[in-house]
Chain A
Amino acid sequence: MLNRRNFLKIGAAAATTTVAAGASLNVHAVKDLPHWGNKDFSPGTGKRRQAIPSACWQCVTRCANIGYVEDGRLVKIESNVNSIRTEGVMCAKGQGAVNHTYDPDRILYPMQRVGERGSGQWKRISWDEALDMVAARMKKNRDAGTPEKVAFHYGRMKASHSKTIGGFFKAYGTGSIGNHTALCEGGKWTAQELTWGGHYDNWDFDNTKFVLNFGSNVLETHTNHIPTAHRLLWAMAEKGVEMVTFDVRLSNTAAKSKEWVPIKVGTDGAVLAAMINVVMKEGLYKGDGEEFLKYTRVTEDVNASVADKVKAIKAHVKGYTPKWAEKISGVPAKKITALARQFATTKPAVLVSYRGLVAHYNGNEGERLAQLLCAVTGQMDKPGTRMKAVGAGWKFPKIPSAKNVKKLHIFDGFPGQVAYPTHHVCEMVFPMIKDGKHGRPDMYIMYCYTPAYANGNSGEGIEVLKDEKLLPFLVAIDPFYGDSTMYADLILPDTPFTERWTAEDMVDPAQIGEFYIRQPFTKPLGEARDFSDVVFDLAKRLGLDMGKAKSHEDYVRLACENTPGVKEAGGFAYMKKHGVWHDKNAKPQQQVYNRPVPESKYKAKGVVLDKASGVYWKPASAADAKKGYVATKGAYKKYVAQNMPHGVFSGFAPDKVNKSGYLELWSPLLKAKGFNPMPTWIAIPEHQKMGRDDLILTTYKHATQTHSRTMNCKYLAEVFHSNPAWINPKTAKARGIYDGDRIKVTSDVGSMVTKARVTEAIIPGIVAVSHHCGHWAYGRYASGKRAPATDEERGDRDFKLKWWTDNGVHPNWVIPNSPDPINGQQRWMDTVVRVTRV
């Protein structure tokens, strides 16, 4: 049903020919090769390699993949051509994942610290000993009535892993769970929750005619990377779709754009505001915009007419003229006007935004301004625009929760620091632990998380990790020895994803859920165990009920056997064989907001209309009804429909916060916290008082790496291992800096000495440093240091051939932990620094 354009005979079905064992290579003249992939052969012997469908985990995109095994060894990974998400293509990171399994610095046995924290002295212990330790500590805290002092902080934990591991800790009774989202783009999600409800915007490149990009580097990195990026490349190549990218440097995405528009750091919001000004002034909102505004709230009055809404928006953006924005952003007023017109009149067009817009002090408002521009042009949730994303909804087995789940209040920033930390504020956990007034964990577990490396202020992070008074019992769960695991008291060897089971669910740009699983390519090496299996073991030791499943594989099996659609297709057996499944009869989702809701639903028993918000909801009690929708904790879960002047509609259902069912761009929630209820330009405070010689430090990602954990993949490190500071020639010359010179970069929290890369591909006045490099203890390829061996020397024949010695310098020593005051997003791009030649 999804008939992809077959310009280059792409998407060939999985192979049906078989090769006799031991067949020698023979060449025959084939016209065009019939098979795109899904099968592979040994280059040496020609023998067919065993193909196992699974899923990648190098980044959160989690593409469906195929692993090839030869003589029990994982030798190659490719995309699964049958995936409607990836359509058979894969990025460098996914290809490089074979290096994970055989990383010579992998931890293969539980290890216990001997000597000082961080001294690198370890003894090997058994799993029994290790889990006895963990269980005993957890029991101690539970018996003391303080289960919340067991803190579990994950970097990446998704889908079925999230259910079993998360379920385990909930069954135990601790809600002290940390995540990493604020380090990525948590703020973007909060801004979306404040506006259109459940987060994730899918950019429909398949159907768009124009792409307006504020600070996304989608062709190198994105949370739905390959599924979206390849669609963009095909749209550009095959349909001539143009992209205009605003960025402070020429990323590869900017390089492939029709135009790179250089812009001053953190001023994208001003440009967006000015574009809205142009749209309103020139009447470009008429038609589609007016129609969409019916489903938008831009006034306190939830029954406002479209005419009133137009008036309100016009009044709000009156001062945001292109000339005004030019002064702030450096983008010529003419350009802003032209692009506003182009975006408004090219139907459909997609507005793309990511960390360049969002990882700033004013990021929340930046994303809200983006949503407002989409609203006034009607470029939202329709094919070819930014749409509400669709993932796979598995029916997961339930794991019963403890009756009273308690938590330490250290995961959402200091009191009053962040207005709506809906994705938490992980970068403030260590400062808060240091501060101590809001509690400290007795046991702090890092799972696939390297706080010292990934958070800002690495120096402070290490200080906290080292301190047994602050973190009495420190546990790391990781397949690899690393920059943070080195400080642990106990290391549990996790499996890399190449040795795991999972039921996966990441969103599909074709707007249909794709169900897929991860299955091990090979048996776990050494004594490595998937932590989502280990929790079943721990549960037994703690007398906890984990529900029906007996292991994580069992959990995945049950999910396959009970999820409608997957079940009928053949359940677990089908998924093990094919890896992916989607409903061929499903229609792509679009326009969730304008579906009329029948009276039977909004006039059902218990459903009331909240006058202030216009929300039809089902309050749990009369008291809640009296308090009202906005003021009742968790009211959003009871949302039924939205009352609008022209009817009762599905609207943009709320998630995480009690917003109305409108696209809410007048937010009572923000007003209540002292912010402007409408999306507003906010200047970044420290940039208004910079010294004459001060510069701004920004960070960026590269196509071959994910944030912190791929640098141990030797093939990826070979291509990208060095992260010199990009600097414009003008800025460099003024400081006597030439290409390759050693420079010192100093901020209020630290300094680093690194190399300069003098390039025209960046705006003056800043330095840009990639944060993938500068590991100080992530194995021989990432950091030049071998992990402390346990009872054997493990070699890798390539190590003698490592030709690079530059492992980079990590910028996070210089970047403070500092959240956006509305949503908690870590402000990666705002740091004021002084740069001098060494």
Chain B
Amino acid sequence: MTTDSAPTMTRRQMLKRVGATTAGVTVVAAAPMAARAATQEVRYAMVIDTRRCSGCQACSIACKTEFEVPLGGVRSWVEHIEVGKYPNVERRMLPRLCNQCSEPPCVDVCPTEPRKATYKREKDGIVVVDESLCIGCAKCVEACPYDARFMNPFKGDPVKTKGNGVADKCDFCLHRISQGVQPSCVNTCQGKARIFGDLNDPTSEVAKLVDEFETTVLLREKKTKPSVFYIGAEYLEAKKDPKADQYFRLDTHRNERSSKRWA
């Protein structure tokens, strides 16, 4: 019953066909491929296909439990955006996490010397925090335009950090991927909306998806060169979203006091 009716189209054709049904998506070689770092062996990235996301928050909770993230902090979360006018109302689902930028503003402002506590790994592009070096100044948290970092009061030496804890953020589940296991958020996603892999490997799923679809990124104009690419979220880079004029509500499902608006 399930096997006999498997479609005969190739996966590539299938993805193209589905892509064609969403408004305004054309198949164009996406800009991010050009940002491939010459020195980087591996460039880990994530593609988030929002057409597959039902906004269920499983990824938020999976991440929370995997790392026992303190209340008030988030490494990954899902925003809901309501726009439109009754009855033509949309609710857009937007999974969010650290964009593992190629030009990370957080790294720029890290003051510790001789080595920065937060840095972008040469070998795979993941932006990490070395707990033992972090002094808890929170400059990186401020600097991140995506509000993807937070101070974790349960980590670090309280004397060194003056009780502020250390900076914390998504690290693409380094402890899992290094053992060949998908990140927690990818693992749990019921829609298979999150796809993780090496953008520098043309045979990887992420590379193929970024190639096939015209993906969007958050705050492209800030030139952070994110490694998180969205499918089905054209509104992120639309010049003007007409629906947003009618009615707009953003639910971040996280502590609003610390949340910055990305839009």
Contacts and interface: CB of A to CB of B under 8 A. Distances in A.
Interface of A: 1-5, 7-10, 15, 17, 19, 25-37, 39-43, 46, 75-79, 88-92, 94-96, 98, 206-207, 219-220, 226, 229-230, 233-234, 236-240, 250, 252-253, 255-256, 260, 262, 383, 510-511, 588, 590, 703-704, 714-716, 718-720, 728-729, 759-764, 797-798, 801-804
Contacts of A78: 62, 184, 187-188
Given A91-B56, A92-B58, A75 B65 contact: yes
Given A32-B197, A35-B180, A240 B87 contact: no
B235 interface: no
A262 B87 CA distance: 7
- Interface size class of chain B, counting residues whose CB lies under 8 Å from the partner chain: 35 or more
A719 B253 contact: yes
B255 interface: yes
A45 B153 CA distance: 19
A32 B195 CA distance: 10
Interface in B173-214: 173-182, 184, 187-192, 195-198, 201, 203-205
Contact of B175 (A42, A383, A511, A761): A42
B181 A761 contact: no
A703 B55 contact: yes
Given A43-B66, A798-B71, A226 B253 contact: no
A260 B5 CA distance: 28
Nearest to B249: A759
Interface stretch (B6-14, B99-107, B140-148, B220-228): B6-14
Contacts of A46: 175, 178
Contacts of B179: 17, 19, 35, 39, 41
Closest 6 A/B residue pairs (Cβ): A255-B91, A233-B191, A230-B190, A95-B61, A801-B71, A89-B190
A707 to B, nearest CB: 17
A27 B174 contact: yes
Contacts of A253: 54
25 contacts: A8-B205, A10-B192, A27-B124, A29-B41, A32-B205, A43-B66, A46-B175, A88-B187, A90-B190, A92-B60, A207-B2, A220-B54, A229-B190, A233-B190, A250-B91, A255-B91, A255-B93, A262-B87, A383-B5, A704-B56, A729-B247, A764-B86, A797-B70, A798-B71, A801-B72
Interface in B228-252: 246-247, 249
A410 B180 CA distance: 57
Given A3-B6, A27-B174, A76 B64 contact: no
Given A91-B190, A714-B71, A33 B60 contact: no
B111 interface: no
Contact of B178 (A28, A94, A256, A703): A28
B188 A715 contact: no
Contact of A35 (B17, B174, B181): B181
A33 B87 contact: no
B214 to A, nearest CB: 17
B175 A41 contact: yes
Nearest to B183: A33
A761 B56 contact: no
A83 to B, nearest CB: 13
**Interface centre among A237, A510, A763, by most B CB within 10 Å?**
A237
Contacts of A36: 181-182, 187
Contact of A718 (B56, B71, B204): B71
Interface of B: 1-3, 5-7, 11, 14-15, 17-18, 21, 41-42, 49, 51-52, 54-58, 60-62, 64-68, 70-72, 82, 84-87, 89-91, 93, 121, 123-124, 153-154, 173-182, 184, 187-192, 195-198, 201, 203-205, 246-247, 249, 253-255, 257
A207 B6 contact: no
B2 A250 contact: no
Contacts of B201: 29, 31
A510 B71 contact: no
Contacts of B58: 89-92, 94-95
A803 B195 contact: no
Given A29-B42, A240-B18, A95 B188 contact: yes
A720 B56 contact: no
Contact of B124 (A29, A37, A729): A29
B14 A37 contact: no
Contacts, number: 248
Contact of B70 (A32, A92, A229, A798): A798
B71 A95 contact: no
Nearest to B84: A760
A255 B2 CA distance: 27
Contacts of A95: 58, 61-62, 64-65, 188
A33 B187 CA distance: 11
Nearest to A714: B71
B130 to A, nearest CB: 13
A383 B1 contact: yes
B2 A4 contact: yes
Contacts of B52: 233-234, 237
A688 B239 CA distance: 48
A27 B123 contact: yes
A78 B181 CA distance: 13
Contact of A89 (B51, B68, B174, B188): B188
Given A29-B42, A798-B71, 7 more contacts: A7-B11, A25-B178, A35-B179, A95-B64, A233-B54, A239-B7, A252-B93
A729 B82 CA distance: 14
A728 B89 CA distance: 12
Nearest to B60: A719
Nearest to A78: B187
B154 to A, nearest CB: 7
B54 A761 contact: no
Given A252-B55, A383-B1, A716-B61, A803 B182 contact: no
A588 B190 CA distance: 23
Contact of A511 (B1, B176, B187): B1
A207 B1 contact: yes
Contacts of B178: 25-28, 46
B146 to A, nearest CB: 19
A96 B18 contact: no
B72 A250 contact: no
Nearest to B73: A801
A487 B14 CA distance: 58
Nearest to B64: A715
B54 A37 contact: no
B175 A43 contact: yes
A728 B82 CA distance: 13
B65 A98 contact: yes
Contact of B181 (A7, A37, A262, A802): A37
Contacts of A7: 11, 14-15, 192
Nearest to B43: A29
A158 B179 CA distance: 38
Contacts of B197: 31-33
A2 B55 contact: no
Contact of B17 (A39, A75, A89, A240): A240
A29 B58 CA distance: 27
A240 B247 CA distance: 28
Contacts of A716: 61
Given A8-B195, A220-B56, A718-B71, A590 B1 contact: yes
Contact of A75 (B68, B174, B205): B68
A78 B195 CA distance: 17
Contacts of A29: 41-42, 124, 198, 201
**Interface centre among A1, A78, A233, by most B CB within 10 Å?**
A233
B190 A238 contact: no
A703 B246 contact: no
A256 B54 contact: yes
